[in-house]
């Protein structure tokens, strides 16, 4: 699988995402109700907050129709001590969000298990070093701007 970098022009300053082959065509499946699996990878030690703080902040932005629409999706938080085989089984599309997904064995196992048990799976890697086999979309960052651009992409009409 190859990640092709393309700019997302939904914000004042463009954010460049990488897309695996065929992912752009599959995006409409994930724009309705879906289940979000957040991989608890690499907390921000400097700030002392989970890595998802900025993304959570983006999708909880008050007054934003986009954020409130996305916030209505169920979220499953998965960590290294969770059994990857028991993480999830759902008929709704699943968006797996992690950072440097291929870097840890447990994250790879969770992604593999979700892909094996769910029909429609989109894996997002918000880390600096995405591995194409564990990233359908690579954001190359997990700050608020990248989070907002990701939400815009996943909730576009």
Cβ–Cβ under 8 Å, residues 106 and 94:
no
Q: Please, what are the domains in the chain?
A: 3-8+18-155 (3.40.50)
More confident residue, 8 or 95: 95
Q: CB of 76 within 8 A of CB of 35?
A: yes
Closest by Cα among 54, 45, 15, 26 to 119: 26
pLDDT surpassing 70 at residue 16: yes
Question: What are the tens digits of pLDDT across the range 58-113?
Answer: 565 666 777 777 777 888 778 788 777 765 666 789 999 988 899 989 999 999 99
Partnered with residue 149 across adjacent β-strands are none
- Residue 153 vs residues 20, 62, 79, 93, 136: alpha-carbon distances, Å: 15, 19, 26, 15, 13
Total-model pTM: 0.78
- Cα–Cα distance, 143 to 5 (Å, whole number): 18
150: nearest Cα among 5, 10, 50: 10
Select the highest-mean-pLDDT range: 11-15, 88-92, 145-149. Answer: 145-149
């Amino acid at each position: 699988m190859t990640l092709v970098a393309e700019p997302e022009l939904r914000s004042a300053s463009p954010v460049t995402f990488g897309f695996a082959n065929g992912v752009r065509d599959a995006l409409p499946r994930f724009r309705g109700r879906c289940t979000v699996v957040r991989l608890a990878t690499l907390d921000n030690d400097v700030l002392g907050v989970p890595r998802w703080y900025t993304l959570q902040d983006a999708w909880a932005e008050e007054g934003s129709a986009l954020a409130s629409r996305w916030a209505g999706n169920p979220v499953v938080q998965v960590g290294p001590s969770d059994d990857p085989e028991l993480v999830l089984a759902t008929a709704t599309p699943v968006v797996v969000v992690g950072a440097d997904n291929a870097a840890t064995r447990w994250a790879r196992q969770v992604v593999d298990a979700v892909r094996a048990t769910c029909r429609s799976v989109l894996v997002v890697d918000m880390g600096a070093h995405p591995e194409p086999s564990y990233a359908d979309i690579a954001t190359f960052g997990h700050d608020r701007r990248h989070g907002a651009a990701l939400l815009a992409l996943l909730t576009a009409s």
